[in-house]
């Protein structure tokens, strides 16, 4: 039997902290765009940011734009998966203020020219976990071991 379960805010944060790559979705030039990004979670008191670095002037360098950020994981063999969605607004940050550069560098895989520092200022964080029906196997694995 398939099950669907909402994740708690704390479960979402734990999953966000455990990954390094996610997808940032937004509208650029009147067209939807979704791009993979390296990120780091920044949490100060009740404020949650997703920190990213990008090249100045590219599609992602749009402070003030509403966006969505997503990570997920799955196990296709057992038909299980999870997803975390952060909705927010993209904001530019000064990496030299308050030690931001040293404390929250998302360490992009491509570093050259990635000098525009941005955060997704979260206003909603949701997640879910799905467990599908286990596939019916046509053979017994123990017979081959």
Whether the CB-CB separation of 117 and 83 falls below 8 Å is answered with: no
Pick from 46, 44, 50, 49: which is nearest to 21 by CA?
A: 50
Whether the CB-CB separation of 122 and 88 falls below 8 Å is answered with: yes
The structure tokens listed for 97 are 């203020």
Q: What is the mean pLDDT of the chain?
A: 89
Given this model, what pLDDT does residue 112 score? 84
pTM of the model: 0.85
**Domains of the chain from N-terminus onward:** 3-144 (2.30.110.10)
Pick from 28, 51, 48: which is nearest to 38 by CA?
A: 51
For residues 73 and 104, which has the higher predicted lDDT (pLDDT)?
A: 73
Given this model, what pLDDT does residue 97 score? 87
Share of the chain above pLDDT 70, in %: 91
For residues 6 and 44, which has the higher predicted lDDT (pLDDT)?
A: 6
């Amino acid at each position: 039997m398939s099950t669907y379960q909402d994740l708690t805010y704390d479960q979402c944060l734990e999953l966000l902290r455990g990954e390094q790559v996610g997808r940032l979705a937004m509208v650029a030039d009147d067209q939807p765009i979704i791009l993979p990004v390296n990120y780091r979670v920044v949490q100060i008191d009740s404020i949650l940011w997703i920190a990213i670095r990008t090249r100045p002037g590219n599609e992602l360098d749009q402070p003030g734009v509403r966006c969505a950020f997503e990570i997920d994981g799955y196990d296709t063999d057992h038909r299980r998966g999870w997803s975390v969605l952060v909705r927010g607004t993209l904001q530019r940050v000064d990496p030299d203020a308050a030690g931001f550069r040293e404390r929250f560098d998302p360490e992009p895989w491509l570093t050259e020219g990635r000098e525009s520092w941005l955060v997704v200022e979260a206003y909603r964080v949701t997640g879910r976990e799905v467990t599908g029906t286990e596939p019916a196997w046509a053979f017994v694995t123990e017979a081959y071991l």
